[in-house]
Structure 1
Amino acid sequence: MSELGHNSNNPAVGGIAADRLRAIIDRVERLEEERKALSGDIKDIFTEAKSAGFDVKVLRQIIRIRKQEPAEVEEQENLLDIYRRALGM
């Protein structure tokens, strides 16, 4: 019996190009490590902001809003205003 995927003389095993598969997996793993590092950096920035007196929850809301289209933000703000008035706030 041969070992599937362990024969370096046969780059394709079961119709799968082993080198291409390995390259894809390596790239994903590298990007996951980068994402982990970036998440740590973002956490550090929020810690810095908090120590400077900023409200991190509000900063996160602003960042989320800035990702949206202006018309979408305006529509949400209008609905929020309508809902507040309906509740007597």
Structure 2
Amino acid sequence: MSDGNVAAEQLRLFIERIERLEEEKKGMADDVKDVYAEAKSNGYDTKTMRKIVALRRLETHVRQEADALLETYRTALGLA
């Protein structure tokens, strides 16, 4: 087998793996969408839930820093 064939086969395998993972990712995104729809049907505000999910991804010190800055800006604009 020549090097071109080996490289082409390896490339094909990489592409196929990526395609499978992309399909799994789409399925997971659909599942997440379904959970938000279920939460909404139970009266929860999904926009707020999405913000909470994003906040929980942050490290504690990063979240605290962002909260402090937001509070500073709110106070400066009279929104507190």
TM over 0.5: yes
Q: 2: CA distance between counterparts of 1:49 and 1:19?
A: 45
Higher helix share: 2
* % identity of equivalent residues: 44
Query: How many Å apart are 1:12 and its aligned residue?
Result: 3.4
Q: 2: CA distance between counterparts of 1:48 and 1:82?
A: 36
Q: TM-score, normalised by structure 1?
A: 0.82
Q: 2: CA distance between counterparts of 1:37 and 1:43?
A: 10
Query: How many Å apart are 1:11 and its aligned residue?
Result: 5.0
Gaps of 5+ in 2: none
Quick one: which amino acid aligns to residue 12 of structure 1?
D
Gaps of 5+ in 1: 1-9
Equivalent residue pairs, number:
79
Confirm whether residue 40 of structure 1 aligns to residue 30 of structure 2: yes
Residue in structure 1 matched with residue 49 of structure 2 by the alignment: 59
Higher strand share: 1
1:11–1:18 Cα contact (<8 Å) kept? no
Q: TM-score, normalised by structure 2?
A: 0.90
State which structure, 1 or 2, has the greater radius of gyration over its C-alpha atoms: 1
Q: 2: CA distance between counterparts of 1:49 and 1:75?
A: 29
Alignment RMSD (CA, Å): 1.5
Quick one: which amino acid aligns to residue 57 of structure 2?
K
Structure 1 stretches (4+) deviating beyond 6 angstroms? none
1:46–1:56 Cα contact (<8 Å) kept? yes
